[in-house]
Amino acid sequence: MDISGIRSTGGFGPRRWRTLAAVAAAGIVLLSAGCSGGRSPSWQDGGSAGDGAGSGAAQSASPPPPESTVAVTSPESGATDVIAVTDVKYKSEDPENTSLTVTGADGKEVDGTLDKDDQVWHPSSALAYGETFTVKVNGTASGDKIGTASSTFTTMAKPSNLVRVSSFLGDNQTVGVGMPLIIKFGRSIPESYRDDVQRRMTVTAKPAQEGIWHWISPTEVHYRPKEYWKPYTKIFYKVQLAGVPMGDGWYGRSDLTVDMKIGRSFTMTVSNKTKKMTVKQDGTTIKTIPVSLGKKSTPSSSGTMVIIEKKRHTVFDTTDELPKEDAYRTEIDYAQRITWSGQFIHAAPWSEGVQGKENVSHGCVNVSMKMGEWLFSRTLMGDPITVSGTDRPLQNGNGWTDWNMSWSEYKKGSAI
């Protein structure tokens, strides 16, 4: 994979050569002084005309042109069918003073990042398909060129099998402190490819927080911090998957970026024992609300969930799902979904008389019409709610249950 410009690995390096040359020259001067009664010719002034000893010394002291000390190592020069997200690797004896450029067929330099420690260049985005690129490496030391190397490679043709990559969230959205970042793929990603995919998904939060990606399924990956997002955090995430291999001849279709933010901290905690919801905003309790949870035959789930969607008015219709004697069709106000299986926080005027005392719902968190409206006007998608004390543990995956796992459990879902 090495090309022309690789430095010689045999013999002495430039510094060693100069040292020996100086010693050899000094030896000639001493010999001349010992064999001549007159003025010895000096190698500094080149000696007199026709003096062979002095002339030879002068020639020995002149250093040869420096050897090439840089090389492109990958892709191999002349390589074809190179993936569009390829890194360019090189070697240099002096990486700090070495530069590298990649240019396209139009002669324009391609944007990328040069990592001098690892001696690798990373493209800022996927290279154009089916195009030839030229790599040039230049090494310098104290302003003197110590080596150059160049190579070319050609990227693969645009693949026909492309995987769609999408983000659930979009630019300028404001969400709750429990909101996971959600990326979905149009095709299952084999386990052996997930680590590379995950490395190309970066999250920047201000203020910074520790966090990690967790594979919910072969087609979906979430990101959450160790603790709830800090209020008013600004988040930018970048998914660079255009041209990235995703197994079985499939490649990522595109890159995407999202610039969003977290709102105030708003959390809800429901106790089956007290049958009350405690609402906190930015750490301060602002409301205690009587509730009615699921009755014995249809208990509510205990665990930490987040608000998935909000509907000012909707209809709950189970006539196609439950036996006729158990089915119902009911108009609902101020509905806020917290599980995929159909558990909501919602207004239930028919149960206001027993809220705070008895559980009569089908698994939902019932509140009064007044409190339903109050909550609905203040919540954001991603606000967390924790229910405790019921007979049904929340099943992971039944909603956005990222916070229903401990941090150590959550990290196990990372491919890295």
33 vs 325 pLDDT, higher one: 325
Q: How does the average pLDDT of the chain come out, rounded?
A: 87
* H/E run at residue 411: helix 407-411
- Angle at 260 (CA atoms; ends 256, 261), nearest 5 degrees: 155
Write the DSSP symbol of residue 96.
G
Q: Which long-range contacts (CB under 8 A, 24 or more apart) does 402-406 make?
A: 402/178, 402/180, 402/214, 402/222, 402/224, 402/306, 403/178, 403/224, 403/228, 403/304, 403/305, 403/306, 404/303, 404/304, 404/305
Rounded distance between C-alpha atoms, residue 80 and residue 154, angstroms:
5
Contacts of 338 (CB under 8 A, 6+ apart): 305, 306, 307, 308, 344, 345, 365, 385, 399
Angle between helices 14-35 and 52-61 (to 10 degrees): 160
Residue 67, pLDDT score: 56
Q: Which range (67-81, 232-246, 251-265) has the least confidence? A: 67-81
Work out the number of other CB atoms within 10 angstroms of the CB of residue 284: 8
Work out the number of other CB atoms within 10 angstroms of the CB of residue 8: 10
Q: Is the pLDDT of residue 235 over 70?
A: yes
Rounded distance between C-alpha atoms, residue 246 and residue 240, angstroms:
13
pLDDT > 70 in the chain, percent: 82
Full set of structural domains in the chain with CATH: 14-61 (no CATH), 70-155 (2.60.40.3780), 173-262 (2.60.40.3710), 266-401 (2.40.440.10)
35 is catalytic: no
Residue 145, pLDDT score: 63
Q: What would the mean pLDDT of 245-265 be, rounded to a whole number?
A: 97
346 is catalytic: yes
Rounded distance between C-alpha atoms, residue 102 and residue 89, angstroms:
12
Q: Which of 214, 222, 362, 364 is catalytic?
A: 364
Are 228 and 177 a contacting pair, CB within 8 Å? Answer: yes
Q: What would the mean pLDDT of 109-121 be, rounded to a whole number?
A: 97
pTM: predicted TM-score of the whole model, two decimal places: 0.79
Residue 5, pLDDT score: 38
List the beta bridge partners of residue 215.
221
Q: Is the pLDDT of residue 75 over 90?
A: yes
Q: Which of 214, 222, 346, 362 is catalytic?
A: 346
Q: Is the pLDDT of residue 8 over 60?
A: no
148 vs 29 pLDDT, higher one: 148
Residue type, 5: G
The distance in angstroms from the start CA to the end CA of the chain is: 29
Q: What would the mean pLDDT of 82-98 be, rounded to a whole number?
A: 93
Q: Is the pLDDT of residue 158 over 70?
A: yes
pLDDT in tens, 306-365: 999 999 999 988 877 777 777 778 999 999 999 999 999 999 999 999 999 999 999 999
At residue 370, φ and ψ (nearest 5 deg) are -65, -45
Rounded distance between C-alpha atoms, residue 340 and residue 400, angstroms:
9
Which SS3 state, helix, strand or coil, does residue 82 take? strand
How many alpha carbons lie under 13 Å from residue 227 in its C-beta half-sphere? 7
Rounded distance between C-alpha atoms, residue 150 and residue 127, angstroms:
18
Rounded distance between C-alpha atoms, residue 191 and residue 415, angstroms:
8
Predicted confidence band at 279 (pLDDT cuts at 50, 70, 90)? Answer: very high
